[in-house]
Amino acid sequence: MPLLMNNELARRENGRIELRPGPVRVRWNLDDLVTADGHKLHCAFTCSMTALADPSERRMLEEVFLGRGQAVTTEAVVAHFAPALRAAAGKVAGRHTAAEWVESELKQPMVEALRDAAKSIAFSAGLEILPPFDVAFESPSFRSQKVEEMERTLAERRVAGQVEHFERASKLLKQFRELREAAPELAPADVLRQISPADQGLMLQTLLLAAGKSQSSSCLWAVAGNSLIKIDGRATPATMEMVALPLTLGPLRSVQPARVDGKEVLLVGARSGVIVYDPESKGTQEYADASIDSPLGFSRAITWDGQIWGCHGDAGVVAWKFGEFAAPSRVIRPTELRGANNPPPLPPSMPSPQTGASISIRTSGIRNLTMLDERRLILSVGHSLTIVSKDGTRTNVAMPADSEVIALFVDGARAVVVQEDGTVSLLDRASLAPVAQQRRSGRVTAAALLPWLGSNRLLLASDSGVVYCVGLDDEVVTTYLSSHRGLRTLAAAADLVAGVSSDRQRIVLWNSWDGKKPLAELSVAGAAKHRVGDIEFA
């Protein structure tokens, strides 16, 4: 019978001993050796081995290995040699440290000790050990120690970097305050420009941190289906409280803070009207427009001229006098707002995951209703603006880009208009004459104002997923990052920034001063069984 080539050195057949024609490599794993500095050491020793053909050597081989079996296997050889090799390795291991064995080229002392011990045993067993001889070392305890030391060093560097960052930020903040005190008439952006360009980004983050820490954020409110949701983004983890509103006016579309009869309330836009919700008393008032038959909803509601005003993609602009709930006092229908060259785009509807009922999330070009001043309202209609005056006159203002207006804000003495292609226009609030225009990003899916030291910065959610924080009067740009692309809605307070994911199922939160990663993500659709219509801090 032929030798088993993989692991046999010799075999006894019919009274004769057949030897393997060439040497075979044999390996010993010698564990739990102890180094001079007390670490456990693992040593792997490898050499070649062959059975000797001399008759006397064959007899010794037979006596040692063939008393109980018919073959001399490498496993049997390893077991026979192991005690002596372990003893020899143990003596040598204690002469050097783990670092010397593992990290240096120190091998020869161990090779010599193991080779000599193996030769002695082989001499009395009819075997011969042959080169090449090799050893390899590993020390789990030493490696663990090195990892701990590396982590400790990195932690120390991190702390040192944070201390250095804090010291530098403190100096910049002191410099900023000194400049403000020396020239109080300067706006924060004007002061920021006086700082070295290399330090402006850090200065901005420091000022956002200082402002955010000094002001606890208002609650974040969201609407989904027929639920108004109160979100505490500062809790750990962030919490959601569901408030069920009446179903009379249909699914909810928007939420906006306002003052009614001297109280801080929420104006909640629904499919066929506006609900006034008092967070303190939890009471509601419903302002209805029974003539509305549409899958859309009121995308924004405000108070102006002693009335509640709302804009609706299919209903146009609707107003109710305070306390007169049954019917609007004034209606400006879409045909009166849109010109012949500005037809409404078709609105996609948003089916409810639970009921299948739908409400269109994106209005058909009539949105962004805002109080321009005591005499005028302003809203966007497609890619242009419409001014509504108290006397009923309406004025259209064309925008430079042929791209839909997605956001409209009033910031001090100017109006800020954001269009879908990324064009940001600043208009004089009184005359609506252009003041400045620029492209601050690529395609924009949502925008919001971020309060900052008595002024505002502009947040732009890009199609790529990055939320850009840009200055209206400076060139400093910071970013808020997440795994979500094309956020549908943005909202901001001094210390928190919030966005709604493109599928409207999740709300993403960031600290206003740290955009590297989200502070939290909330699965609102999972809790409310409907997707998010709108968010706002109040």
Tokens of 182: 């020396």
Same domain, 158 and 181: yes
- Mean pLDDT over 50-77 rounds to 90
- Mean pLDDT over 190-205 rounds to 69
Residue with the bigger pLDDT between 344 and 72: it is 72
pLDDT tens digits along 429-475: 999 999 999 987 889 999 999 988 778 999 999 999 999 999 888 88
Phi, psi of 431 (to 5 degrees): -100, -15
The CATH number linked to 78 is 3.30.479.30
What was the pLDDT predicted at 170? 59
Domain holding 62, by residue range, is: 8-138
Q: Tell me whether residue 31 is in a domain.
A: yes
What was the pLDDT predicted at 66? 87
What was the pLDDT predicted at 150? 83
Measured at the CA of 353, the angle between CA 352 and CA 354, to 5 degrees, comes to 90
pLDDT tens digits along 126-135: 999 999 999 9
pLDDT tens digits along 256-286: 999 998 899 999 999 999 999 999 999 999 9
Q: Tell me whether residue 526 is in a domain.
A: no
Same domain, 164 and 76: no
Whether residue 2 is preceded by a cis peptide bond, meaning omega within 30 degrees of 0, is no
Same domain, 195 and 100: no
Tokens of 297: 């909803």
Sequence-ordered list of residues with C-beta below 8 angstroms from that of 82, at least 6 positions apart, any chain: 28, 30
What's the CA gap between 348 and 68, in Å, rounded?
Answer: 84
**Least-confidence region, from 145-154, 217-226, 425-434, 514-523:** 145-154
Average pLDDT, the chain: 87
Q: Tell me whether residue 369 is in a domain.
A: no
Decide if 322 contacts 306 (C-beta within 8 A). Answer: yes
Q: Tell me whether residue 531 is in a domain.
A: no
Q: Please tell me what DSSP assigns to residue 225.
A: T
Same domain, 12 and 86: yes
Which of 191, 213, 235 delimits the end of a domain? 213
Q: Which amino acid is at 533?
A: G
Percentage of the chain surpassing pLDDT 70?
A: 85
Q: Tell me whether residue 77 is in a domain.
A: yes
Q: Residue 47: enclosing H or E segment and its boundaries?
A: strand 40-51
**pTM assigned to the model:** 0.65
What was the pLDDT predicted at 7? 84
What was the pLDDT predicted at 353? 36
What was the pLDDT predicted at 156? 67
What was the pLDDT predicted at 363? 39
Tell me how far the alpha carbon of residue 500 is from its chain's centroid: 13
Q: Tell me whether residue 394 is in a domain.
A: no
Same domain, 132 and 157: no
Q: Tell me whether residue 519 is in a domain.
A: no
What was the pLDDT predicted at 168? 61
- Mean pLDDT over 160-175 rounds to 59
Same domain, 173 and 115: no
Sequence-ordered list of residues with C-beta below 8 angstroms from that of 538, at least 6 positions apart, any chain: 218, 219, 221, 255, 256, 257, 264, 266
CA distances from 167 to 18, 305, 454 (A): 81, 51, 25
Q: How many CB atoms lie within 10 A of CB 430?
A: 12
What was the pLDDT predicted at 217? 62
**241 has which bridge partners?**
230
Same domain, 179 and 61: no
Q: Which amino acid is at 297?
A: G
What's the CA gap between 455 and 349, in Å, rounded?
Answer: 36
Same domain, 98 and 26: yes
C-alpha distance across the termini of the chain, in Å: 90
Same domain, 126 and 190: no
Same domain, 161 and 182: yes
Decide if 102 contacts 145 (C-beta within 8 A). Answer: no
Q: Tell me whether residue 172 is in a domain.
A: yes
Percentage of the chain surpassing pLDDT 90?
A: 65
Which of 164, 183, 213 delimits the end of a domain? 213
The label of the residue with tokens 């390899």 reads 136
pLDDT at 299 over 70: yes
What strands lie across the sheet with 394-398, from one edge to the other? 366-371, 376-381, 384-389, 394-398
What's the CA gap between 29 and 126, in Å, rounded?
Answer: 23
Same domain, 27 and 126: yes
Give how many domains the chain has, as a whole number. 2
- Mean pLDDT over 79-95 rounds to 95
pLDDT at 325 over 80: yes
Which of 86, 108, 138 delimits the end of a domain? 138
pLDDT tens digits along 204-262: 777 676 666 556 667 999 999 999 999 999 888 999 999 999 999 999 999 999 999 88
Same domain, 58 and 151: no
